[in-house]
């Protein structure tokens, strides 16, 4: 069994840490929020005094933090994990962050001879709790092989995406497509309704025709056709508008950095930004159908 340092015990990290503890690993845990740290200690972790302290004398460090600036600070600032970690410590960052921060921090780790992977997830809080997350992993093949046994405990599908930063690239490209797909699906259901076609009839036809996509068949934004979709539960998340907006901003930033044309990604970011600015950032992202119908 390994000694794990776990930093960032929020909505996702708290459950992920708990699954590692349940599997029998020992853990030094840290979060800036005392109640999050208390929960991890109640589940069997030892409280570290700081993020750096959690990175000392452990076999593997796992971070689940809000954004790139937190990841840079925890790993790469003077006195940070890269400086204090023992030789051979494996570093796994599962936060969703910008590709450049992931590549910069990985390069700083490599300079010290430390293996690091970026391993963002999809699957949400439910997947974190159930240990069924999907991990998209960037880093060397060796680092991936070392990380996989830990990721297997927290997730179900573990994909190797290539070199450093490629896990983040896979994550934001997927979520950009999801954001665009949800808007397209919403527009189609709204237009169908105005033309006198009810949602169920349109769903039955389009879900077996060429308009079929995940946003329609698994997460339909119109109430009715897919009983488990948030549309049937007042658009409670699920995956909140503000989370989608974060990922669309990361995609835009990445596209600009490499000169890629992503006009629909750009428009999607503007539309989700409008929904968030009108006070609906906590709604499930499929709730954009209501804004597009002029009902929000």
Q: Which of 28, 171, 252, 290 is catalytic?
A: 171
Minimal CB distance to ligand NAD: which residue? Answer: 10
Q: Rounded CA gap, 194 and 199, in Å?
A: 11
Q: Does residue 96 touch ligand NAD according to CB under 6 A?
A: yes
Q: Does residue 5 touch ligand NAD according to CB under 6 A?
A: no
Q: Which tokens hold the place of 17? A: 């840490």
Q: Rounded CA gap, 290 and 286, in Å?
A: 9
| Residue numbers 199-258 binding ligand NAD by CB under 6 A | 246
Q: Does residue 124 touch ligand NAD according to CB under 6 A?
A: yes
- Give least dist CB 109 to ligand NAD, A: 17
49 is catalytic: no
35 versus 261: smaller Cβ distance to ligand NAD = 35
Q: Which tokens hold the place of 155? A: 């997730």
- Give least dist CB 279 to ligand NAD, A: 20
- Give least dist CB 262 to ligand NAD, A: 20
- Choosing from 84, 110, 125, 177, the residue that interacts with ligand NAD (CB under 6 A) is 125
Q: Does residue 31 touch ligand NAD according to CB under 6 A?
A: yes
70 versus 290: smaller Cβ distance to ligand NAD = 70
Q: Rounded CA gap, 143 and 151, in Å?
A: 12
Stretch that binds ligand NAD, among 117-125, 151-159, 188-196, 282-290 (CB under 6 A): 117-125
Each residue 59-78 as x (binds ligand NAD by CB under 6 A) or -, in order, gives -----xxx---x--xx----
Q: Rounded CA gap, 123 and 8, in Å?
A: 17
- Choosing from 18, 95, 215, 268, the residue that interacts with ligand NAD (CB under 6 A) is 95
Active site residues: 171
**Contacting positions for ligand NAD (CB under 6 A):** 7-13, 30-33, 36, 51, 64-66, 70, 73-74, 95-96, 121-122, 124-125, 246
């Amino acid at each position: 069994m390994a000694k794990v340092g776990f930093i960032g015990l929020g909505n996702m990290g708290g459950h992920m840490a708990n699954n590692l503890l349940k599997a029998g690993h020992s853990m030094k845990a840290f979060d800036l929020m005392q109640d999050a740290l208390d929960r991890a200690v109640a589940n069997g972790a030892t409280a570290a005094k700081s993020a750096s302290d959690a990175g000392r004398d452990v076999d593997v460090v796992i971070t689940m933090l809000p954004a790139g600036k937190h990841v840079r600070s925890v790993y790469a600032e003077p006195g940070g994990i890269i400086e204090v970690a023992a030789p051979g410590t494996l570093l796994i960052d599962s936060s969703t962050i910008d590709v450049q921060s992931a590549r910069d921090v990985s390069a700083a780790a490599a300079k010290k001879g430390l293996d690091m992977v970026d391993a963002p997830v999809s699957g949400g809080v439910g997947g974190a709790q159930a240990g069924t997350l999907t991990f998209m992993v960037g880093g060397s093949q060796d680092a991936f092989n070392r990380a996989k046994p830990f990721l297997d405990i927290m997730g179900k599908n573990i994909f190797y995406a290539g070199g450093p930063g490629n896990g983040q690239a896979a994550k934001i490209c997927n979520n950009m497509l999801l954001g665009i797909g949800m808007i397209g699906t919403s527009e189609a259901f709204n237009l169908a309704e105005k033309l006198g076609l009810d949602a169920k009839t349109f769903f039955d036809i389009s879900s077996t025709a060429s308009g079929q996509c995940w946003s329609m068949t698994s997460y339909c934004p119109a109430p009715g056709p897919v009983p488990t979709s948030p549309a049937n539960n007042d658009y409670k998340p699920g995956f909140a508008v503000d989370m989608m907006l974060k990922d669309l901003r990361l995609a835009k930033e990445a596209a600009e950095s490499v000169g890629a044309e992503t006009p629909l990604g750009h428009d999607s970011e503007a539309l989700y930004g409008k929904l968030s600015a009108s006070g609906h950032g906590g709604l499930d992202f499929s709730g954009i159908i209501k804004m597009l119908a002029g009902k929000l």
